[in-house]
Amino acid sequence: MGVTENNRIIFVCTGNYYRSRLAEILFNDYALKAALNWDAESRGLFDRGSMKGISPDALRFLEYKGFESPEHFSREPERLRVEDLETSRLVIILNKNEHEPIMKMKFGRVPTMLEKAGRLRYWNVYDVPSRRPMKARIFKSQEGGEQPPESSGEHIDFAVQLLVHELGTRGLEINDSTEDIDSSIPSGPKFR
């Protein structure tokens, strides 16, 4: 199943190391089993620096869920680009309090327009302990919280299952008035 512009979801977290990667992998597995013509990718808002591959917490959760050889999902984290917003039918931001201010700082009015068009959603999955406080101070995002890796993995898993169910039963309702969105993106191909 290849990624198509009309059926592409992108999951976004801070560094594309744990939350968004786990959501991507789980979504693609559930979508395949449900015979949905949707694919997911994931990105981060920032480069991960010295962190490479995928979080050991994500690998442990995938092993717990019965994935064989989950290390084959290990690729380098990727940063969110304007092109990702343009070519994704749905963008899921993993934590509103943490990521909304950063999205607006990096992409201006585009996140608000995508949200109004029904193409962007915020979830409330917190990062695992000890990774969030510095980001909160730097970007002055609202204090939210943290959750243990097991709880975070279960939270992501449940939210992804609900999304797959929604797409399988009623599809994605999108407001097709994207003209304002098109004019606000600085360059690249237009939304379709």
The amino acid occupying position 143 is E
How far apart are alpha carbons 120 and 85 in whole angstroms?
9
The amino acid occupying position 154 is E
Helices and strands (H, E) in the chain, number of each type: 8, 4
Q: pTM higher than 0.85 for the full model? A: no
Which letter does DSSP use for residue 46 in this model? Answer: S
Q: Half-sphere exposure (CA, 13 Å, Cβ side) for 30?
A: 22
pLDDT band at 176 (very low <50, low <70, confident <90, very high): low
Instruction: For 106, list phi and psi in degrees, rounded to 5.
Output: -80, -35
Instruction: For 146, list phi and psi in degrees, rounded to 5.
Output: -135, 160
Per-residue pLDDT reduced to its tens digit, 124-159: 888 765 444 444 444 444 445 555 555 688 989 999
Higher pLDDT, 190 or 45: 45
Question: Mapping DSSP to helix (H, G, I), strand (E, B) and coil, where does residue 122 land?
Answer: strand
Helices (H), the chain: 19-33, 56-64, 82-87, 96-107, 110-116, 133-139, 149-169, 179-184
Asked if pLDDT for residue 72 goes beyond 50, the answer is yes
**5-184 has CATH 3.90.1820.10 classification:** no
Break the chain into its structural domains and give their ranges: 5-184
Spatial strand order in the sheet of 90-93: 39-44, 8-13, 90-93, 120-122
